[in-house]
Structure 1
């Protein structure tokens, strides 16, 4: 679908695969995300990024499996990115400065 917009080479980029955002879309519709309103998220392949104003926040959350974000990790990841909860007992989150 994006081949005509991006060109063949960029359209084949795995980070543009709709599967990369499907877990985030499902999570945003869940009760777990009810606290997160009026915010801008950027999903860049395997990274979840908080947007502050017109720029990316300094820390990015990176998918645990290194490939794509999963529904089960998004609640903790978003709470950490927005500073609403400590990292908790699950251990440190994979982040990229």
Structure 2
């Protein structure tokens, strides 16, 4: 199980709404392979270098999304993050919408 501080999750959601309003909508969770599918408001659970949440609001050129790492799987704050990620998310990188 992954847990996130609720205040930080609310900030991610608010930032995603602002990004979408400023930049024309929402990003595609399928890396553009299925245009028009999944381009709706939401958050992504991302397994990468740790596990984190980010919104899918479109970003300005060169901008990075606001992310919040799970309390169990932050690469800078939890020494066993890789084992935890592999056990609960899998070894591969990925996105869950």
TM-score of the aligned structures, taking structure 1 as reference length: 0.27
Structure number with the higher helix fraction is 1
